[in-house]
Amino acid sequence: MRLILLGPPGAGKGTQAQLLMKRYGIPQLSTGDMLRASVKAGTPLGVEVKSIMESGALVPDDLIVRLISDRLGDSDCLNGFILDGFPRTEAQATSLDQMLSDRGISLDCVVSITVDQRALVDRIVGRFTCKSCGIGYHDTLNRPRVDGVCDACGGKEFFRREDDKAETVVARLTAYIQQTAPIIPYYKEKGRFAEVNGMGEIDVVQELIVNDLEGRSK
């Protein structure tokens, strides 16, 4: 299965991608996670994008397209993948079409997760992530079962993202509205597009997505 998860910052793309990854055994390709790994490792790409990410703006298309194009060639993507946070501009959407047609493959579905703007800010400022396995949590909405211990891997160290400050969230939402939301009509026209209400609990949203992917309606 090859799919795109679209949605504003904090919509739950990463949370849902991790559940889908387990369910279908296909990798989550999160451009945000890849960029954060480059920043952490201090690679030339990481040095170039660090301040852009901290400002909440989008990283230049050519850098992102190269990142995804390289990753799509990996063997774990042969049976499918979940694109999380890519494409985010019209130029990225066009480049993705080219990458897919070069490989003779196509998308099965584009899922757009919608969430009220106020909830987005709450979700983002309360988010924290397990340092060892990358699973996301929230101070009030999605706590680990045992305080300070990751449900998935037992890790005890967590981090908060540099761009998860209330003042940066506004810039990220603006980037979404101005640069990413305009690609939604493009995918709607292509078909196999689903809009999913992301305001429910995590498992409920997952069920809505899976029902859609598997062609059932509720």
Residues known to be catalytic: 13, 88, 127, 161, 172
Residue by residue, DSSP assigns 107-167 as -SEEEEEE--HHHHHHHHHTEEEETTT--EEETTTB--SBTTB-TTT----EE--TT-SHH
Measured from the CB atom, the residue of 14 and 155 that comes closer to Mg ion is 14
Measured from the CB atom, the residue of 61 and 104 that comes closer to ligand AP5 is 61
> By CB neighbour count within 10 A (0-12 exposed, 13-18 middle, 19+ buried), where does 150 fall?
buried
Smallest gap from residue 44 Cβ to ligand AP5 (A): 16
Tokens of 87: 């494409």
Residues 10-29 that bind Mg ion (CB under 5 A): 14
User: With contacts defined by CB under 5 A, how many residues of the chain interact with Mg ion?
Assistant: 1
Site residues for ligand AP5 per CB under 6 A: 7, 9-15, 31-32, 35, 52-53, 56-59, 64, 85-86, 88, 92, 123-124, 126-127, 136-138, 141-142, 163, 172, 198, 201-202, 205
Distance CA(4)–CA(50), nearest Å, equals 25
Measured from the CB atom, the residue of 109 and 123 that comes closer to ligand AP5 is 123
Q: Is 190 left (phi over 0), alpha (psi -120 to 50) or beta?
A: alpha
Phi and psi of 109, rounded to 5°? Answer: -165, 150
- Residue 168: contacted member of ligand AP5, Mg ion, none (CB under 5 to 8 Å, by partner type): none
Smallest gap from residue 120 Cβ to Mg ion (A): 12
* Nearest residue to the partner ligand AP5, using Cβ: 32
Which stretches of the chain bind Mg ion, using CB under 5 A?
14
